[in-house]
Amino acid sequence: MTKVLRSVVTGVGGYLPDEIVTNTDLAQVVDTSDEWIIERTGIRQRHRAAKDQPVSDLAVEAARMALEAAGKTPADVDLIIVATTTPDLTFPATATIVQRKLGCPVGIAFDVQAVCSGFVYALSTADGFMARGRSKCALVIGAETMTRLMDWTDRGTCVLFGDGAGAVVLEPQEGEGTTADRGLLGFALRADGAKQDLLYVDGGVSTNGQIGHLRMQGNQVFRHAVVNISEAIFAAAADAGVAIDEVDWFIPHQANQRILEGVAKRVGIHESKVVSTVSEHANTSAASIPLAWWTAMQDGRIKPGQMLLLEAMGGGLTWGACVVRL
C-alpha cells in the first residue's frame, strides 16, 4: 500500500484573558438579563482582553502551550497561520507579529480571514503546505478580541461574543492511507458571498476607514447554519472515508447552544459526544474550535487515537468541516 503524508496534530494549547464578564455584568450596561441570555444562547459568561492586550498576545500564549504539549520550541516552527478577524494592525499580518514575539526563525507566516470558519480554513491551508513538503512544524492559531467589534447598545449581538485564542502544532507523519491514520483526514470548505448581509462588520479600511461594529440577522444565520453546516459535515466525512457514527467527539464552533444542538441532531450525533464550551467562553469566532478542543483535552475527555469532527460557520458567509484523528 502506498504511504501518504498526513498532517498530524501533536500539540494543542489555549488561552483566555483574565477578565470574566458575566451576564449580570452585561445587564448593568445593556437592556438584558442573565435569564434572557441563557435561554436564547446558553452563554453564562465570556472573557475580555485587557485594553493593552492585542490579539497577538493571546495567540502567543496559546501557541506556547501548544508547542510545549508537542515537545517543540519556537526554533522548530517554519509555518505560522493565524486565523483572525481582529488583527493587531491592518498590516503586517498578525502571524508575523506572533513569529517575532515567539522568537521563531525566518519562515512562512500569514493570516487567514474567514471569520468564525477561519480555523478550519487555516487547518486546510496548513495541510496543503505539509502535503507538498514545505513545512515540518506548523502553528495554526485561532485568536480573537471580538469584544472590540461590539455595539454595546445592541443586546442581540454584544452578549454573544468573547475573547480568546487556541492553537495546534502540526507535523508531517507517514500514514497508510486509511482512516486509521493519525492526522487531518478530510475537509469540506464553503463560502457564499451573496449572504454577506446576514453577518458582517460595518466598517473597513477602503470603505469608511472605520473599525465598525458587528451586525447580524440572527434568525437567518441560525437557519443557514443548521442546514449548511450539516451538509459540510457529511461532505467532510465522505472526503475522509468515515461514517458519522465513527466520530468520538464533535467539536463545533461555539456560536450558540441551540445551533450546536440543532446541527448535532440533524447529522445524528448524540449529545454526549458534543464538546460545548459556549456557556463559559461565548463565541470567540476563529478561536472557538481550538479553545474547545484544548478544554476537552485538559479535562481528559479527548484522548490520543480518537476521531474528532470540527465544524464552523461565520460571516461571508463561510462554513466548513474537518475530520481529524488525534
- Alpha-carbon separation of residue 222 from 67, 185, 227 (angstroms): 36, 28, 9
Those residues whose C-beta lies under 8 Å from the C-beta of residue 18, and which sit 6 or more positions away, are 47, 50
The answer to whether residue 208 is catalytic is: no
CA-CA distance, 266 to 106, in Å (whole number)? 45
Please write down the long-range contacts of 20-23, taking CB distance under 8 Å and 24 or more positions apart. 20/45, 20/46, 20/47, 20/48, 21/45, 21/46, 21/47, 21/48, 21/147, 21/162, 23/159
Query: Considering 116, 137, 158, 322, which one is annotated as catalytic?
Result: 116
Report strand pairing: 108-112 vs 79-83. parallel
- 25 backbone dihedrals φ, ψ, rounded to 5°: -60, -45
Catalytic residue among 253, 256, 281, 322: 253
H or E element: which one contains 167? strand 163-175
Has 116 been annotated as catalytic? yes
User: Which of these is catalytic: 23, 228, 256, 283?
Assistant: 283
What is the DSSP-derived secondary structure letter of residue 274? Answer: B
Using alpha carbons, list the distances in angstroms from residue 130 to 9, 37, 123, 178, 248: 12, 42, 11, 18, 25
For the annotated catalytic residues, the residue numbers are: 116, 253, 283
